[in-house]
Amino acid sequence: MIDRINASQPKHIVTVEDPIEFLHRDKRSILNQREVGQDTGSFKRALRRVLRQDPDVILVGEMRDEETVATALSAAETGHLVLSTLHTLDVPETINRIIDYFPPHMHGQARAMLAGTLKGVVSQRLVRTADGRGRAATCEILRTTGRVRDMIMNLAETGRLSEVITEGAYYGMQTCDQHLLAHVQSGRVDMEEALKAATSPHDFKLLVASGGQRSTSVDQLMTA
């Protein structure tokens, strides 16, 4: 992601990491990497100071508390591109985790901030490859659309985000199970490992059996 940002027009990029795992060299952009414990005391302290420098892009290694999340959302509201990570299982859990960092009386405000700033979520699971020598990245991808924003705002609808992702191939979305299916079909991952990583093993078996078709259309019946 950092390399892609550098490849576009020049940017001022600041990262806050714990620890710094990869050292990125300046290319067309100015890149400033800071390590928690060495250059700053905490994520939230660093993020407050970073905003005073008005960078174009802010990378927060991990959002761990309410203040860090709130500051990251505020930075996004003022036009900064903010990238960060959370330890979650899938996209809906990621959305709920961000909201749950706030006290209950602030959930409405948190939902509004998130719906207004979120560009997308990528949830990754590493699955053992068929040859046993490595791991295949299996990604669930959400891209924010008008419908997604409405579902984030509505507590009763947030849990149905998986349905939007399942049907969102046109927008570049995919569920973890859909990506697992592609791995199985290509031979990168065997069925046993895929079932261990699947969100719903039973539904995944049906998905594999149908070749990825979740429903039967009239055209399919006519050509069968």
* Structure-token match 């990825």, residue found: 212
pLDDT above 70 covers a percentage of the chain that reads: 91
Confidence of residue 8 (pLDDT cuts 50, 70, 90): low
Strands (E) located in the chain: 12-17, 30-35, 57-60, 81-84, 120-128, 135-143
Question: Residue 222: what pLDDT?
Answer: 38
SS3 128: strand
Q: What is the mean pLDDT of the chain?
A: 89
Phi then psi for residue 147, to 5 deg, are: -65, -40
SS (H, E, C) 1-55: CHHHHHHCCCCEEEEEECCCCCCCCCCCCEEEEEEECCCECCHHHHHHHHHHCCC
pLDDT of residue 11: 87
pLDDT of residue 216: 41
Residue, of 81 and 218, whose pLDDT is higher: 81
pTM of the model: 0.86
Residue 90 confidence (pLDDT) above 70? yes
Query: Which CA distances in Å does 149 have to 46, 76, 108, 119, 154?
Result: 29, 15, 13, 10, 9
Q: Pick the closest to residue 111 from 68, 156, 75 (CA basis).
A: 156
**Stronger pLDDT, 29 or 212, i.e. the higher one:** 29
Question: For residue 43, what pLDDT is reported?
Answer: 87
Q: pLDDT digit string (tens) for 160-217?
A: 999 999 999 999 999 999 999 999 999 999 999 999 999 999 999 999 999 877 544 4
Q: What is the pLDDT of residues 94-143, one digit of tens each?
A: 999 999 999 999 999 999 999 999 999 999 999 999 999 999 999 999 99
- pLDDT number for residue 9: 75
Name, in order, each residue with C-beta under 8 angstroms of 54's C-beta and a sequence gap of 6 or more. Answer: 12
Q: Which two tokens stand for residue 147?
A: 């419908």
Cis omega (within 30 of 0) for bond into 55: no
**Would you call 12 exposed, middle or buried from its count of C-beta atoms within 10 A (0-12, 13-18, 19+)?**
middle
